[in-house]
Amino acid sequence: MIKKSSRSSILFAIAVSLLLIHCSDSTTSVDPGNDNENGTNPDPDPPIEFDHSRAPGASAEAFITSSTFDQLTIEIQYMPGARPDDASINKLQNFLELHLEKTSVAILEPQEIESGEQESYTADDIRTIEQENREEFTVEITLAAYVMFLDGEFESGSVLGVAYFNTSTAYFGDTINRISGGLGQPSRTTIESTVFAHEFGHLMGLVNNGTEAQADHHDSENGAHCTVEDCLMYFQVETTNFFANLFDGSIPELDNFCLADIDAVRK
């Protein structure tokens, strides 16, 4: 089960950048304490402490496989006016159930949080808001992920979503609203569903950012993205440019290169 932790217990690494290309093991053992009088460890199976403040992709294996975490729970929080559509939440669940080895993917009922009362948000703003509001954390066999919908734009106004920690993603309601629902524009659900899946792809270590690329499809000039324009992990998918210039009305899927990368982790 997911443990409710006090907000003050979260230790955030403020120096972590939004999209660090870095990967390492996702869990560390807690110090089991002193041996007992017989010289043996009183707790032969010490608990596992999960660090939620690492770079995106650092917990790729924890997401994709069931070897350590058999279940996934996703907490969604949103600022007033920025609640994600139920349909896009359902599509996210379908995407994760398709590509992850989990026996259970549970998305909790979205909860409203106070507005940040800003027109735009920086990386540091986002991390601070999570620190003040996140309630669900990884414990035992359940991995916890955090989703935040903000009522403004990112400091770079064309960005729709970001993966900023190893279990955390954020989305920008004002930007999504601006490019959706109008004449000739895609629906809000379509945009949210696309960007949802793209950012969780980053948490899964795509492309070559925690999940090793099995073939040469890493667009190194544009970070952890795929060179294939039709792929969900193409770099423009998380920006307004994609929906203005390349979008044909359908939600892109992971191409065969990205699918092969995931399959290699699951084997």
d(CA 216, CA 199): 21
Q: What is the pLDDT of residue 48?
A: 58
More confident residue, 232 or 10: 232
pLDDT value of residue 175: 96
> How distant, in Å, are the alpha carbons of 9, 33, 151 from that of 121?
24, 42, 9
* 42 band by pLDDT with thresholds 50, 70 and 90: very low
Band of pLDDT at residue 188, cut at 50, 70 and 90 = very high
Tell whether the model's pLDDT for residue 30 goes beyond 60.
no
E strand or H helix at 197, and its extent? helix 188-203
Q: Per-residue pLDDT for 31 more than 50? A: no
What mean pLDDT value characterizes the chain?
Answer: 85
Report the amino acid identity of residue 62: A
Residues 141 and 69 sit within 8 Å (Cβ to Cβ):
yes
Copy the structure tokens of residue 202: 């980053």
Domain 3-28+46-266 has CATH 3.40.390.10: yes
Contacts of 59 (CB under 8 A, 6+ apart): 26, 143, 166, 167, 203, 210
Indicate whether 65 pLDDT > 50: yes
Specify the higher pLDDT residue, 4 or 193: 193
Q: Average pLDDT for residues 76-98, to the nearest whole number?
A: 97
**What are the tens digits of pLDDT across the range 101-125?**
999 999 999 999 999 999 999 999 9
pLDDT in tens, 132-163: 999 999 999 999 999 999 999 999 889 999 99
Residue pLDDT, tens place only, 209-241: 999 999 999 999 999 999 999 999 999 999 998
Can you read off the two tokens belonging to residue 80?
């007033």
Q: Any idea which of 41-50, 92-101, 241-250 has the lowest mean pLDDT?
A: 41-50
The contacts of residue 243 (CB under 8 Å, 6+ apart) are 179, 185, 186, 191
